[in-house]
Amino acid sequence: MINSTFKRNDSGVLRTAKPKPSKPTLALKPKTRKCKVCRTPFIIFNSMTNVKWCSPECGLALSQRIIAKGVSKQKGIERKDITVRRNAIKPMAKRLSETQTVINRYVRLRDHFLPCVSCDKPASWNGQWHASHYKSTGSNSALRFNLWNIHKSCSVCNNYLSGNIGEYIPELAFRVGKDRLIWLNNHPRSRTYTPEYLDRMKRIFSKKCSRLMKLIDGLVVGMVDELDYQQPINRIEYAGKKS
């Protein structure tokens, strides 16, 4: 349909203006949304609505899923809270023991390719390996976690020979250097550890153990020197000298 209008010119005569075509009416395209359960598209009549399901069955399934997720989240929060409270009342002796266990494991992994620090047992020895302290934890608590003070030792030397210190000292001087050996001998003996410090040490060395385990599992001869030793010496040549 064309609408025509009239307008009067300067002489007062009515003249027909140019017809203006009427605008066509546009049909609104229905909006769709995918169901959160079955992923089937469905028509939504109001874009502001919060409906996310296509049928009552899907709505019930979605509500059960949301409830289960909330319950699982709440259980996780409760477990975390229990862990925090248990950690808060953990005795100091247990913290020291757990941290020492992790660091001893790290030392055994670090010295995986080295022989016993106190005797001539090679790294291929099939017995039990320990982490032996040069300065014992009882007499020198300040050095109980110091990596210069801890080295891999066989169970025979560590358990039955009290570390076999006579052979330990020259080998320790070779591994860490004489200056560090003097520092160990002159270091203060006592130290008080805080729970925060012990927890942090445990986390750090647990990660170090994981990295060393992956490195050792996929190790080739050219990667031996990439292990985290205190002194950059060639471990293959060193093992040959000891043998």
Mind listing the pLDDT tens digit for each residue in 175-207? 999 999 999 999 888 889 999 999 999 999 999
Q: Are residues 155 and 45 in the same domain?
A: no
Q: Are residues 83 and 114 in the same domain?
A: no
Total tally of structural domains belonging to the chain: 2
Q: Which of helix, strand or coil describes residue 70?
A: helix
Residue among 35, 30, 32, 4 at smallest CA distance from 17: 4
Q: Are residues 76 and 113 in the same domain?
A: no
What global pTM score does this model have?
0.63
Across 43-57, 116-130, 225-239, which has the greatest mean pLDDT? Answer: 116-130
Domain that includes residue 83, residue range: 32-89
Cβ burial of 183 (10 Å; 0-12, 13-18, 19+) is middle
Q: What is the pLDDT of residue 135?
A: 92
Instruction: Tell me whether residue 3 is in a domain.
Output: no
Position 220 confidence tier, pLDDT thresholds 50, 70, 90:
very low
pLDDT averaged over the chain?
81
**Residue 73 is inside which H or E element, if any?**
helix 56-88
Q: Are residues 57 and 123 in the same domain?
A: no
Q: What is the pLDDT of residue 18?
A: 61
Contacts of 219 (CB under 8 A, 6+ apart): none
Q: Are residues 49 and 121 in the same domain?
A: no
- The token pair at 134 is 């040069």
